[in-house]
Amino acid sequence: MIACIALAGCTTPKRTRFVDVQSTVYGTKIAVIDADEAVVRLRVSGPNEPVFLAMVEPRVIADGLYLFPSYINKPVVSERLEVPVVELDLPAEWRDRIFWVEGESVPRWFQVFRERVRTIERRHLELPDAHESS
């Protein structure tokens, strides 16, 4: 039991590294339509394009809002998605730091000589200007 606890402590990532990416891994095009303290509204892909997105989990990490997608193998029809953020403790200026998570990884338990760093591959999403239409 003690060995399990010690091993778990050794494998828990001690810090997070962020890698900015430009392209999307799953071919999903995401754009923020609007964001307030209750919900972030997204446009997913374009009209008549298949979307393989099941849900999006929002998390606050450091000083940004990170949107973690869960993908499925059957396309859905919705082009717009609302992600509730009302229960999150949003940091100041969070609207300038909304990120779509393209990937997340940590070293495997057996990679004992690798640095314990959690890596998040992210894509920055920008809010449209107030004068732009959705």
Predicted confidence pLDDT, tens digits, the chain (134 residues): 444 444 444 555 568 888 898 866 656 788 899 999 999 999 987 666 777 888 899 999 989 999 999 988 888 767 788 999 999 999 999 999 999 999 888 877 776 666 778 899 999 998 887 444 44
- pLDDT value of residue 44: 85
The letter for the amino acid at 64 is G
d(CA 29, CA 42): 10
Contact criterion met (CB below 8 Å) for 69 and 44: no
Q: Choose among 98, 96, 114: nearest CA to 11.
A: 114
- pLDDT value of residue 131: 40
The side-by-side arrangement of strands in the sheet containing 80-84 is: 30-35, 39-44, 80-84
- pLDDT value of residue 108: 72
- pLDDT value of residue 2: 46
Phi, psi torsion values for 78, nearest 5 degrees: -65, 130
- pLDDT value of residue 69: 92
- pLDDT value of residue 6: 45
d(CA 42, CA 32): 5
- pLDDT value of residue 94: 95
- pTM of structure: 0.78
